[in-house]
Amino acid sequence: DTEVTQTPKHLVMGMTNKKSLKCEQHMGHRAMYWYKQKAKKPPELMFVYSYEKLSINESVPSRFSPECPNSSLLNLHLHALQPEDSALYLCASSQAPTGAPYEQYFGPGTRLTVT
């Protein structure tokens, strides 16, 4: 099974809402990633979890809060977002992340619109 799943596929939220994005993988990978991708741009790294611990935060605003409840799940909690946060949010996973930058497997993404 080389699949990374993400829910929901689409999300529309107001600037005062609180919502969460979910990501799941069953490949035994111990690194999980959140990316943000704006139209016609490459993915931008937001967070990296390594063995369920946050190892990289790319200076992401605190209105985005990641959580890794276990080795298969990754959440991104959203609160008080701005319209410019509208984007495709991609989750990815890879093998044991330390010592080498391994191939990342991407989920289908969540298309987020902030109104």
Partner 1 sequence: ELKVEQNPLFLSMQEGKNYTIYCNYSTTSDRLYWYRQDPGKSLESLFVLLSNGAVKQEGRLMASLDTKARLSTLHITAAVHDLSATYFCAVGRLRGSQGNLIFGKGTKLSVKP
29 phi, psi to nearest 5 deg:
-70, 145
Q: Does 22 bind partner 1 (CB under 8 A)?
A: no
The residue range among 19-27, 48-56, 59-67, 68-76 that interacts with partner 1, by the rule CB under 8 A, is: 48-56
Q: Does 97 bind partner 1 (CB under 8 A)?
A: yes
Q: Which residues, 6+ apart, have CB-to-CB distance to 37 below 8 Å?
A: 43, 44, 87, 88, 89, 90, 109
Considering only residues 85, 107, 112, 114, which one is a binding residue for partner 1 as defined by CB under 8 A?
107
Q: Does 27 bind partner 1 (CB under 8 A)?
A: no
